């Protein structure tokens, strides 16, 4: 220590802890090692600094002396716990592929939990440190907003917790989280937090080197294969919205992903708190139901943590049981369990892979449930709307019948003709409700409307002495429901005009209706072989009620246009144009 004071020309008590740590890294371990065995250690703040510098030295020595990850981490958690006087120290490693944290080493917690506990990267105080990349200090851990217990780990008796993200620098990348826990509530001083963050920085490099060493060519190939399979099965289940198909698919893919022999999915009922078997897959029998131990499934759901039973557990015949919770934003949805060969090596990789798959499966199940709810809701709404259209149609037909009766008993032509035209208008509206009550609620076709309107016109508008033929060209030109009623009225007025004026003095004739689409515009042509338009005809100067109605409906309501022209072969051609590109345009056009 005297050597440090001489080189800096500043008393050690005046040097900031983090600066002192970097200074000591440049010196040999001799003075530090000697201080370990010196019974006359200085007391107070300096003693604390020396102990922490010694711990940093041990971490660095563990990193360079061994590339065995588990051995190195086991040493680190013990040294760090002693350095800060904590009752427990643990390391969770981050798996970026599955977005999970795996417990890999602990001093003071249940050692049987190492490698068996996998949590989501945003779970608990540990997850907050991971996602924010910032140290989390909870003097009273149970009062922290993100506090979450893991019964299998044995954390219930601890009062305080510090979670330090283990970060690689340049660029910043999360490696894991270092946890410190104490039985009694404890305030952590700034120099203690600085030490822990320095330890995390040392640990990040050591972990990275050990991981690179452990990832042999065969291990890398296996990892790439697993990730390819995970991506493929995730894509498959995400594209399936039928629960009856999705559940067995998830069970089968989980078995394939973990290289197991059978699996089962359990559905959680929040009202009763019970777990219900939903689906199974067995490699040998394909569909034979397989039950897993109830206590194992219950533990997975209660802890909301992926876990694996020891491979040498006699109760499962020497095989491993892997389980992962199915979690969504709405909470616990259930669990997925897989039976697989008992492999100790890379056990945490299997758990991470299963948890990542379980997260994707849970989202797919939630989407399928929401789709089913929406489908049932749409079916109910459709039934109600169809019933509404049916009743409106009946009411309109009643009105039309009353007007028709009035027309028959009127006795005067000047009364009968307007009443019959009113009947035709009402019936035109009724035809649309008739179409919508028996088919698609959102749209229909121009041809379907034209056939309905011409049928009503032939009954209510065509005089008895006129033999008139209607020809509606088949087409699939669609029209939105909010446009349909307006178009039916418009077409009825055009047909009435063609019959009353175009066929005046005629005993027979024909009217042809066709439709086409040109980009975002729909065009309908109504052509008759009648007497045609007068030479001096000017559409803009016409003041008749029928043409005014047509013009208003076409321009104001449908946001389109209307024109009347002479046909070269005789007769008149009426042209109706309006936009039909999108639902929004259609709706705004009808407002």
pLDDT reading at 547 higher than 60: yes
**Tell me, what's the pLDDT at 287?**
60
Q: What percent of the chain has pLDDT over 90?
A: 15
Asked whether 121 and 127 are in contact (CB, 8 A), the reply is yes
**Tell me, what's the pLDDT at 417?**
67
Q: d(Cα 386, Cα 17) in Å, to the nearest integer? A: 77
Nearest to 49 by CA among 88, 5, 114: 5
pLDDT tens digits for 358-393? 888 888 888 888 887 777 766 666 666 666 666 666
The DSSP 8-state label assigned to residue 448 in this structure reads: H
pLDDT reading at 246 higher than 50: yes
The dihedral sign for the CA sequence 332, 338, 339, 340: negative
pLDDT reading at 20 higher than 70: no
Nearest to 244 by CA among 261, 263, 259, 265: 265
**Tell me, what's the pLDDT at 514?**
94
pLDDT tens digits for 1-13? 444 444 444 454 5
More confident residue, 59 or 266: 266
Q: d(Cα 457, Cα 344) in Å, to the nearest integer? A: 83
φ, ψ dihedrals at 152, nearest 5°: -65, -20
pLDDT reading at 434 higher than 70: no
Give the contacts of 34 (CB within 8 A, at least 6 positions apart).
Answer: none
* Residue for token pair 């940093």: 56
pLDDT reading at 185 higher than 80: yes
Asked whether 115 and 347 are in contact (CB, 8 A), the reply is yes
**Tell me, what's the pLDDT at 273?**
79
- Omega before 171 within 30 of 0, i.e. cis: yes
pLDDT, mean of residues 18-35: 41
pTM for the full predicted model: 0.42
More confident residue, 240 or 574: 574
Asked whether 186 and 139 are in contact (CB, 8 A), the reply is yes
Q: d(Cα 525, Cα 515) in Å, to the nearest integer? A: 6
**Tell me, what's the pLDDT at 348?**
61
Residue 90's pLDDT band (boundaries 50, 70, 90)? very high
Question: Cα 474 vs. chain centroid, distance in angstroms?
Answer: 42
**Tell me, what's the pLDDT at 527?**
94
More confident residue, 587 or 449: 449
Question: Mean pLDDT for the chain?
Answer: 77
* Residue for token pair 């492999």: 343
* Bridge partner residues of 413 (DSSP): none
The lowest-confidence range among 51-65, 240-254, 455-469, 481-495 is: 51-65
Is residue 357 classed as helix, strand or coil in its secondary structure?
A: helix
**Within a 10 A sphere around the Cβ of 477, how many other Cβ atoms?**
15
pLDDT, mean of residues 139-146: 90
Domains and CATH numbers, the chain: 2-214 (3.30.450.40), 217-370 (3.30.450.40), 410-590 (3.30.565.10)
């Amino acid at each position: 220590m005297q050597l440090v004071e001489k080189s800096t020309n500043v008393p050690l008590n005046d040097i900031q802890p983090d600066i002192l740590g970097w200074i000591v890294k440049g010196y040999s371990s001799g003075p530090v090692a000697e201080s370990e065995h010196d019974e006359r250690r200085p007391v107070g703040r300096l003693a604390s600094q020396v102990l922490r510098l010694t711990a940093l030295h041990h971490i660095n020595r563990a990193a360079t002396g061994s590339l065995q990850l588990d051995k190195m981490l086991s040493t680190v958690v013990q040294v760090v716990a002693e350095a800060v006087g904590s009752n427990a120290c643990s390391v969770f490693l981050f798996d970026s592929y599955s977005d999970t944290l795996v417990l890999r080493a602990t001093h003071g917690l249940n050692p049987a939990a190492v490698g068996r506990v996998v949590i989501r990267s945003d779970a608990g105080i540990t997850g907050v440190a991971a996602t924010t990349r910032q140290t989390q200090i909870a003097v009273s851990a149970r009062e922290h907003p993100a506090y979450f217990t893991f019964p299998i780990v044995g954390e219930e008796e601890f009062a305080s917790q510090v979670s330090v993200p283990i970060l690689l620098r340049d660029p910043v990348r999360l490696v894991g989280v270092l946890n410190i826990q104490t039985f009694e509530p404890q305030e952590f001083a700034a120099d203690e937090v600085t030490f822990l963050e320095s330890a995390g920085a040392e640990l990040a490099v050591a972990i990275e080197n050990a991981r690179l060493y452990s990832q042999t060519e065969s291990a890398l190939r296996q990892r790439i294969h697993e990730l390819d399979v995970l991506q493929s099965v995730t894509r498959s289940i995400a594209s399936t919205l039928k629960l009856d198909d999705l559940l067995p698919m998830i069970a089968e893919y989980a078995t394939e992903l973990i290289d197991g022999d059978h699996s089962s999915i359990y559905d959680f009922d929040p009202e009763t708190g019970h777990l219900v078997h939903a689906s199974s897959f067995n490699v040998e029998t394909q569909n034979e139901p397989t039950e897993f131990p109830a206590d194992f499934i219950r533990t997975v759901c209660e802890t909301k943590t992926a876990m694996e039973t020891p491979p040498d557990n006699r109760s499962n015949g020497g095989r491993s049981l892997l389980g992962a919770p199915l979690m969504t934003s709405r909470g616990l949805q259930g669990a997925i369990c897989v039976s697989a060969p008992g492999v100790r090596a890379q056990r945490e990789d299997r758990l991470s892979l299963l948890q990542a798959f379980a997260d994707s499966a849970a989202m797919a199940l939630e989407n399928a449930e929401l789709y089913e709810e929406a489908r049932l809701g749409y079916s109910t709404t459709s039934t109600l709307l169809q019933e509404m259209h049916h009743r409106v149609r009946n009411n309109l037909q009643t009105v039309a019948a009353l007007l028709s009766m009035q027309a028959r008993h009127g006795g005067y032509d000047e009364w009968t003709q307007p009443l019959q035209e009113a009947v035709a208008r009402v019936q035109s509206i009724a035809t649309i409700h008739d179409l919508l009550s028996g088919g698609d609620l959102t749209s229909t076709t121009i041809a379907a409307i034209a056939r309905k309107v011409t049928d009503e016109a032939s009954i209510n508008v065509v005089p008895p002495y006129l033999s008139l033929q209607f020809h509606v060209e088949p087409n699939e030109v669609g029209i939105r429901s909010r446009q349909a009623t307006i178009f039916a009225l418009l077409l009825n007025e055009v047909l009435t005009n063609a019959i009353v004026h175009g066929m005046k003095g005629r005993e027979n004739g024909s009217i042809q209706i066709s439709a086409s689409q040109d980009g975002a515009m729909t065009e309908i042509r109504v052509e008759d072989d009648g007497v045609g338009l007068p030479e001096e005809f000017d559409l803009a100067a016409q003041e008749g009620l029928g043409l005014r109605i047509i013009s208003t409906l076409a321009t104001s309501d449908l946001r389109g246009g209307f024109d009347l022209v002479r046909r070269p072969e005789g007769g008149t051609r009426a042209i109706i144009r309006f936009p039909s590109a999108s639902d929004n345009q259609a709706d705004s056009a009808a407002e």
